[in-house]
Amino acid sequence: MSDDSNEVLTDMDRSQDALAGSHLLVDLAPGIFGQQQAGWLVTIETRDGLVQIDTGDQAPTSLAAIRSRTDAPFTHLVFSHGHQRYNLACRDWVLDCVRTSGRVPQVVAHENVERRQRRYQDSNGLQNRLLERQFRYATGSLEGRQFPFTTPTHTFRDIYVIDAPGRRIEVHHAPSETDDAVAVWLPDERVLYGGPACIPFFPNVGSPQRPVRDPVRWADTLDRLAGFPAEVLICEFGEPIRGADAVQEYLSTTAAALRWCHRTVVDLMNRGHNVAEIVNMVEFPPEVFGKPWLMEGYTSLEHVLRDVYRTQFGWWEDLNPTSLHPAHPADVAREIRAAITDPDAVLARVRALADAGELKLALHVVDLLALDQGGDPAVVEARRLKAELCRAAAAANPSYVTQSLYLNGADVLDRANAEATA
């Protein structure tokens, strides 16, 4: 990989990237250390060399951190899953290994990784816009960028075993956030790296911009991981979980919470409710969701319910006949604006709802005007109000993804107003 991959990321505004991480090496278990980026970059020492789980997106500094501790060559580079940022620098690591040791490391990934990467390449423009919104990069900063991909040298379906001298390393398929995710089990040391299946807050089901992440499949994976007698669980983020009982509690309670979401949504669907009704009806019982690792942090529990709904139903979420064959959004917004004879009353109602703390309702009402285009003074004011509401909603929501999307929406509204009034 050329320096272009690193340039892509330095061009982004990392001051707004909550997942940028650091290169401080942290001992995770005996002979296992890591550095935090989008997730842990995990380095496993063996007598034959190093097995690396994920290479991240910042090759020079990441490699330098490892080389500050050991000069051992890399024998294997393992993809935890196929999300782009986790292994953008893989080719740089391969080249470094060849240059410093004369060895070509094996690049190991689940067989579904290549299909995912082909999809990303086919939808490159879309993926760039998704990244800009979700991680608060400047709009257009990724325009035309092609993220590099290193083709694995070895793929597998169920399990890939690295029988290194003095250390057996098992790489297991662990579908969860993605269908190509893996977990890594060290049976002799009883250390389990859970990959994206294990994070220190509620599982990242229900990402608003991503395909369905089946919570039942995720729960099945956690139940299977609970079958390993692990005494240390390395999650994708955060501190390792130590002690067999603590590991089992984390895995079992997380799986139970995911299954509760599934059962609850399906029951409400069986009773005829649509998704908007369901997400406003469900109350999450503290006896199921009261654990620190089941709090909202990256995703939103409401969005988890939406993904459950999508596993059972098609795109016609609101069950409103109007949405079966909708008119173009710009035409709809224009006609709604034309039908409103007293826009000041609409704006006053929006302000009243906002003052009462009813941000959800205020956003619905303001859209009567804010979705229209152009420089109509009432529309400009509606966009301004909506930007305020989006920022207030972001401040009130614990989900990183939700915050980012609200704030991105506010930025888009501000730009639209600037263009309309220029």
> What DSSP element (H or E) covers 346?
helix 343-355
Return per-residue pLDDT of the chain as tens, 422 residues: 233 333 333 333 333 333 445 679 999 999 999 999 889 999 999 999 999 999 999 888 999 999 999 999 999 999 999 998 899 999 999 998 998 899 999 999 999 999 999 999 999 999 999 999 998 888 899 998 888 899 999 999 999 999 999 899 999 999 999 999 999 999 999 999 999 999 999 999 988 999 999 999 999 999 999 999 999 999 998 999 999 999 999 999 999 999 999 999 999 999 999 999 999 999 999 999 999 999 999 999 999 999 999 999 999 999 999 999 999 999 999 999 999 999 999 999 999 999 999 999 999 999 999 999 989 999 999 999 999 999 999 999 999 999 999 999 999 999 999 999 98
365-418 pLDDT per residue, tens: 999 999 999 899 999 999 999 999 999 999 999 999 999 999 999 999 999 999
Domain 4-196 has CATH 3.60.15.10: yes
Fold adopted by 327-421 = 1.25.40
Domain ranges of the chain: 4-196, 255-312, 327-421
**Quick check: 46 and 76 in contact, CB under 8 A?**
no
d(CA 159, CA 336): 57
d(CA 40, CA 53): 8
- The structure tokens listed for 336 are 């709604």
Residue 182 pairs in a beta bridge with 173
pLDDT of 9 reads 38
d(CA 239, CA 40): 10
pLDDT of 38 reads 83
pLDDT of 152 reads 97
> What DSSP element (H or E) covers 400?
helix 400-421
**Quick check: 152 and 114 in contact, CB under 8 A?**
yes
Residues in Cβ contact with 137 at an 8 Å cutoff, skipping those fewer than 6 apart: 12, 13, 16, 17, 131
d(CA 323, CA 50): 55
Residues in Cβ contact with 192 at an 8 Å cutoff, skipping those fewer than 6 apart: 183, 184, 185, 186, 225, 228, 230, 232, 233, 234, 247
240-250 pLDDT per residue, tens: 999 999 999 99
Strand-by-strand arrangement of the 32-36 sheet = 26-29, 32-36, 40-46, 49-53, 74-78, 106-110, 154-156
pLDDT of 21 reads 54
Tell if the pTM clears 0.85, that is, is over it. yes
pLDDT of 22 reads 65
Place of tokens 């989006």: 390
